[in-house]
């Protein structure tokens, strides 16, 4: 879906067309979830934040401006909500189940079974994970990512290429270790 198509759907939703919300959700859910997951690195938190993002979309659609980058607007909502939730979770006092993880179970992105997520978590920083996720999984152009993250295009390109080099090096090392 193009920026213009999403913009039109946002405007339809703003005008009260309820079918536009379902279309927006279906067209953005995969990429948005991957982006949120790259931020929080917890599947359940990502699910919650995704739902919260779409709720916030519904409640703030009146502030959407026609012709704005709808993807950047939606991803900024998701980013802000997720970062706020992560900060809130850090402030909470919780019981630690680390010692009894076999008793209670645990979940990390590695449990997803994808070696790419495992490598990304192992060798990439937060911003690098975001950039790779937005480009590779969500299909955004580097220029769009730069706009979403409020960073210069050159910085995004450098970080993306650096992230790919780190991942390639980690994969090559893992392959050598297996031999």
Here the CATH number for the domain that contains residue 73 is 1.10.1740.10
CA dihedral sign of residues 76, 77, 79, 83: positive
Is 101 a domain residue? Answer: no
Residues 81, 168: one domain? no
Candidate ranges 26-30, 87-91, 113-117; pick with highest mean pLDDT: 26-30
Is 98 a domain residue? Answer: no
According to the model, what pLDDT value does residue 139 have? 80
Overall number of domains in the chain: 2
Share of the chain above pLDDT 70, in %: 87
Quote the mean pLDDT of the chain. 83
Residue 8 has pLDDT above 70, yes or no: yes
HEC string for the chain: CCHHHHHHHHHHHHCCCHHHHHHHHHHHHHHHHHHHHHHHCCHHHHHHHHHHHHHHHHHHHHHCCCCCCHHHHHHHHHHHHHHHHHHHHHHCCCCCCHHHHHHHCCCCHHHHCCHHHHHHHHHCCHHHHHHHHHHHHCCCCHHHHHHHHCCCHHHHHHHHHHHHHHHHHHHHHHHHHHC
Measured over all CA atoms, what is the biggest interatomic distance in the chain, rounded to whole angstroms? Answer: 61
Residues 84, 21: one domain? yes
Residue 105 has pLDDT above 60, yes or no: no
Residues 8, 64: one domain? yes
Which of 58, 92, 126 terminates a domain? The answer is: 92
* Domain of 152, in residue numbers: 113-174
Q: Is 92 left (phi over 0), alpha (psi -120 to 50) or beta?
A: beta
Residues 45, 87: one domain? yes
Exposure on the CB side of residue 159, measured as CA atoms within 13 A: 23
Give tens-digit pLDDT for 160-172: 999 999 988 988 8
pLDDT-derived band at 49 (thresholds 50, 70, 90) equals very high
Residues 84, 118: one domain? no
């Amino acid at each position: 879906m193009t920026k213009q198509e999403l913009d039109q759907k946002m405007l339809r939703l703003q005008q009260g067309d309820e079918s536009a919300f379902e279309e927006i959700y279906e067209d953005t859910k995969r990429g948005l979830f991957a982006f949120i997951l790259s931020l929080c690195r917890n599947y359940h938190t990502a699910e919650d934040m995704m739902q919260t993002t779409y709720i916030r979309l519904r409640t703030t659609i009146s502030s959407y401006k026609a012709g704005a980058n709808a993807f950047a607007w939606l991803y900024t909502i998701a980013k802000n909500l997720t970062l706020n939730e992560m900060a809130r979770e850090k402030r909470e006092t919780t019981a630690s189940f680390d010692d009894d993880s076999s008793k209670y179970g645990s979940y990390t992105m590695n449990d997803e079974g994808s070696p790419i997520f495992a490598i990304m978590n192992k060798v990439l920083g937060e911003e690098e994970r975001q950039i790779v996720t937005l480009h590779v999984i969500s299909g955004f152009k580097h220029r769009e990512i730069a706009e979403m993250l409020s960073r210069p295009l050159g910085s995004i390109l450098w970080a993306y290429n650096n992230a790919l080099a780190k991942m390639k090096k980690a994969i090559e090392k893992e392959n050598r270790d297996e031999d």
